[in-house]
């Protein structure tokens, strides 16, 4: 249900007063702080990955265990970076909101269930000896 013009104006006034009174709280409630943390973590993971490459290449000159350490740094950085980047992409700058009711299946899920229903029906007919 859409808000009326008066309700929208009142909501904008409430948001503006919250930003004026407590900008830190408003920033936390809007979800922007969490997105910034994940972006920063992804950026540091990228730097760690580059550092891991350098250690890996430098380890070839020094000792093979240094190269293994560089690879492990690269692996850990990649895992942290991908996880953080996914959270940034999933959030999209918006806080997660719980759904009010049961979710409807998306159009991409419906054909799969129809397909599975047809397969199950064919399986039942084969078991009964009706379809070979």
35 occurs within a structural domain:
yes
Which domain, by its residues, includes 84? 9-92
Confirm whether 119 is domain-assigned. Answer: no
Is residue 100 in a domain? Answer: no
In a domain, 111, yes or no: no
Count Cα neighbours of 18 within 13 Å in the Cβ-side half-sphere.
Answer: 13
Confidence (pTM): 0.47
The answer to the question of residue 66 being in a domain is yes
Does residue 28 lie within any of the structural domains?
A: yes
Q: Give tens-digit pLDDT for 86-130.
A: 877 765 544 444 444 455 555 555 556 788 888 888 888 888 886
Angle at 49 between CA 48 and CA 53, to 5 degrees: 115
Residue 128 lies in a domain: no
Q: How does DSSP classify residue 103?
A: P
Domains of the chain: total: 1
């Amino acid at each position: 249900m859409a808000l009326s013009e008066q309700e929208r104006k009142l909501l904008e006034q409430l948001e503006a007063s919250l930003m004026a009174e407590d900008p830190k709280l408003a920033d936390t409630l809007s979800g922007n702080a969490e997105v910034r943390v994940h972006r920063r973590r992804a950026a540091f993971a990228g730097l760690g990955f580059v550092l891991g490459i350098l250690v890996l290449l430098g380890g070839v000159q020094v000792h093979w265990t240094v190269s293994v350490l560089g690879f492990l740094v690269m692996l850990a950085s990649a895992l942290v970076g991908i996880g953080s980047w996914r959270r940034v992409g999933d959030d999209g700058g918006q806080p997660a909101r719980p759904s009010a009711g049961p979710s409807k299946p998306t159009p991409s899920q419906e054909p799969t269930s129809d397909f599975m229903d047809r397969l199950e029906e064919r399986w039942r007919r084969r078991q009964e000896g009706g379809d070979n």
